[in-house]
Chain A
Amino acid sequence: MARATDAEALVRLRTVSKHFGEGEARVDALRDVSLAVDAGQVVGLLGPSGSGKTTLLNVIACITAPSSGWLCLDGEVVYDNRWLRTDLRRLRLEKIGFIFQFHNLLPFLNSTDNVSVVLDLAGVGAAAAKQRAIELLQYLEVDHRKDAFPASLSGGEAQRVAIARALANRPRIILADEPTAALDSHRAGIVMDLLRKVAVDQQAAIIAVTHDEKIFDRFDHIYHLRDGRLESAVEQAVVKI
């Protein structure tokens, strides 16, 4: 937990605990987790099933309230034994981008609209939102599929569009849930390279939950979770783009 005290980190957790149920039925999903992720870093969360990875991701995403602890996102303390903000969806919209295992693109929107929908929710005008969406699709080299609906995209293309959506509002924190699980190793590598590029270019902190061994070497740090505790932080020598 070397980064726990780093005041410059985009994501900071201090002694965050989360339990479900009480008494004999009590399950401790997270125990005194402290974590700090800097801008430009790509961090991996590993651990066996039930170790608390998803709970930790949900806590950082402000979906699940911790039982105790302190959480600071992009310089704003959002939880200190209670939520300090009530508009958590707005908080997510402003500060966090999400990348999913199965891309979770809205099936009734084409690639451009899937990206611009986030900007639309944030109140950006239609023309500006479309412009930004196309720029992002170009940046992720999937603009040739800007009018395609998700059903007609390949797995790699869909994940690129999903990454573009995650970047639409220029969030400085990106949470990825098994971003490469549905991809073969070649495409998984491309996606991880893209995430690294995003982290560096946009000075974003990227936290990815993964089981995918073929991408372990693409993380700056890998944190192991076991029974709700962060057991180790392995700093890796990653080839920076």
Chain B
Amino acid sequence: MNLAYRDIRHNLGRFLLTCFGLSLLLGVVLSMIGIYRGLVEDALTLARTPAADIWVVESGSRGPFAESSRIPGDTREAIVRLHGVTAAGAVTYQSVETHYGGAKLRLYVVGYELGRPGGPDHVTIGRPIARSHYEMVADRRSGLSLGDRIRLGRNTFTVVGLTDNQVASGGDPVVYIMLADSQTLQFELAPPAARRQLARGAPVTDTDTINAVIAQVSTNVRPSTVAEATRRWKHLAVMTQDEQEFVLTRSVVARARKQIGLFTALLLVVSAVIIALIIYTMTMDKLREIATLKLIGAPDRTVIGLILQQSLAMGAIGFGVGALLINGVKDYFPRRVILQPEDGLVLAVAVIIVCILSSGLGVRLALKVDPAAALGG
């Protein structure tokens, strides 16, 4: 006879309500892990989309994501001629704030060259950019729709395609435009400022500047070899794809990652304390029954089983409902929440361990119950 199951069935409403409360807590833990994964994934997606093998940036910089990087626009022509390089593309990256539908809209603008690496890897709805100017492919999280017209700087762009899950490490949705348009947006001065520069005799600003060159390398050549050859020029810095991803995860999003990690750990500790208190209270409520069981001859394993099984059932139901809840609402979060099966598995194991450890207090209390307490004094 499973006493834990019978007790749960008898007090089903109270038990389920407790499980629901716990599921909300574990759901928050799971969502924090998902946000953490989303943060890292967002940071890496932007760097992985061009399928680059090496990133050529300004000398002394770890750009274009971790630091600013400006190199001449014709750098691409030099890189593409290196031995082993199969394709190279000039790119720009910048954050802009504009207005859309009467509200502010922050976007992360990527400028790339048509037919060269740097553009979106695929377009979910619509088509890729086909014209040289004023077309845009936007991520769906921007809220933009096909055919929408949006002003960036002094130009108006038409949305011709939509992508999915293209978000920068800061959470801004990514939009792709042509390199020339992005150079104008990033480097061309506004007319009054340009006139002022001209009047003071300053050289005319060259807009043929880019943030990086991304290159794809032949499978027969190691990217590190190409990177080493480029570094010898001294005026450029080069990172392999692995180095770029390392910089992104260990530097760009490191603080946010640690913050979320710490918060997740704190939530787990809070969950453990709450589970322990619930189990302890449940045990306190059953002291007379436990004393009676011990008096009529129930061994300790029966009493421990009663407490431990309820604790595990609570943890399992709480985790299951929490996971379902978060799976149901994760798409409504402002940032991407990525729930990976292995993370769920790790949390499930953590919850089981927490339940077992948390039961310790209740078990200790139950084992100390004197069977004589069942008899009147």
Q: How large is the interface on B (under 10, 10 to 19, 20 to 34, 35 or more residues)?
A: 20 to 34
Distance in Å: Cβ of A49 to nearest Cβ of chain B: 9
B297 touching A118, Cβ below 8 Å: yes
Task: Give every chain B residue within 8 A of A101 (Cβ-Cβ).
Answer: 376
- Near A by CB (< 8 A), chain B positions 257-309 give 288-289, 292-299, 302
In the bound complex, CA of A104 to CA of B298 (Å): 14
- A27 on the interface (CB 8 Å rule)? no
Residue of B nearest to A58 (CB): B372
Of the candidates A64, A89, A118, the one having the most CB atoms from chain B within 10 angstroms of its own CB is A89
The answer to whether residues A63 and B372 also contact, given A107-B10, A108-B9, A117-B1 and a CB cut-off of 8 A, is yes
In the bound complex, CA of A126 to CA of B6 (Å): 15
- A135 on the interface (CB 8 Å rule)? no
6 examples of A-B residue contacts, CB within 8 angstroms: A61-B295, A89-B297, A92-B297, A104-B374, A113-B6, A117-B1
A121 touching B374, Cβ below 8 Å: no
B11 touching A54, Cβ below 8 Å: no
Distance in Å: Cβ of B268 to nearest Cβ of chain A: 31
In the bound complex, CA of A109 to CA of B9 (Å): 10
Question: What 11 additional pairs, Cβ within 8 angstroms, besides A98-B375, A101-B376?
Answer: A54-B377, A90-B299, A91-B297, A92-B295, A98-B296, A100-B375, A104-B288, A116-B1, A117-B1, A121-B299, A165-B296
In the bound complex, CA of A113 to CA of B293 (Å): 13
- Near B by CB (< 8 A), chain A positions 91-149 give 91-94, 98, 100-102, 104, 106-109, 113, 116-118, 120-122, 126, 149
A100 touching B292, Cβ below 8 Å: yes
- A38 on the interface (CB 8 Å rule)? no
A-B contact count (CB 8 A): 83
B289 touching A107, Cβ below 8 Å: yes
Distance in Å: Cβ of A233 to nearest Cβ of chain B: 23
- A215 on the interface (CB 8 Å rule)? no
- A177 on the interface (CB 8 Å rule)? yes
In the bound complex, CA of A94 to CA of B299 (Å): 13
The answer to whether residues A54 and B376 also contact, given A117-B1, A120-B1 and a CB cut-off of 8 A, is yes
- B206 on the interface (CB 8 Å rule)? no
Task: Give every chain B residue within 8 A of A116 (Cβ-Cβ).
Answer: 1
In the bound complex, CA of A108 to CA of B5 (Å): 10
Contact among A93, A100, A126 with B1 in the assembled complex (CB-CB below 8 Å): A126
In the bound complex, CA of A98 to CA of B292 (Å): 9
- A178 on the interface (CB 8 Å rule)? yes
Task: Give every chain A residue within 8 A of B296 (Cβ-Cβ).
Answer: 92-93, 98, 117-118, 121, 165
In the bound complex, CA of A92 to CA of B296 (Å): 6
Residue of B nearest to A106 (CB): B289
Task: Give every chain B residue within 8 A of A126 (Cβ-Cβ).
Answer: 1
Residue of B nearest to A175 (CB): B375
Distance in Å: Cβ of A120 to nearest Cβ of chain B: 4
- B371 on the interface (CB 8 Å rule)? yes
Q: Binary interface profile of B, 339-377, with partner A (CB < 8 Å = 1, else 0)?
A: 000000000000000000000000000000011101111
Task: Give every chain B residue within 8 A of A113 (Cβ-Cβ).
Answer: 1, 6
Distance in Å: Cβ of B196 to nearest Cβ of chain A: 84
Task: Give every chain B residue within 8 A of A94 (Cβ-Cβ).
Answer: 297
Contact among B370, B371, B376 with A177 in the assembled complex (CB-CB below 8 Å): B376
A64 touching B372, Cβ below 8 Å: yes
- B243 on the interface (CB 8 Å rule)? no
- A4 on the interface (CB 8 Å rule)? no
